[in-house]
Structure 1
Amino acid sequence: MRGSLLDAKWEMISSNLDGNIWEPGILSNGKLYNPYFPVYRELYEELPETGKMSIYERVKIEMAGKTPGA
């Protein structure tokens, strides 16, 4: 992500949820990007634009011995 943005650099940013937690981010042209959000989203959130369930949900279903969509 950083390589595809102009003049991008890594920044440590205080978390919005807890000011004692610092998170890495990418700053480019005055905008802040979270390079980990796409990964977190794929792992934990349902993807309505594709109709796919998250990897986390698929693993839970497989561990329970059920077939997705059944």
Structure 2
Amino acid sequence: MKLTKTEKMVLLSMVTDCLGVEVLIELCGQETVIKLDALSNDMVGNTTPNEMNKIGPSTVKKLVNSILDDELPTQLEGSE
């Protein structure tokens, strides 16, 4: 599965919403989080509200499908 830069930013935003900015700073460092915030603001500035509303759900669906696609061959191998 290949995610676009925008999809990656949306997923990171979702994770950050769950964990909190403080945890992200502890994991990656404040300088990195500042850079990510600037990239995120730039992305939002170049994306319409309608596009933003579609990106999150479509990215989650893409991730779920990728997980299931990765798992299916494993399950088929075990059934032989």
Fold match, TM over 0.5?
no
Q: Which has the higher contact order (CA 8 A, sep 6+)?
A: 2
More helix by share: 2
From the two aligned structures, give the one with the greater strand fraction: 1
TM-score range, shorter chain: 0.3 to 0.5
TM superposition score normalised by structure 1: 0.36
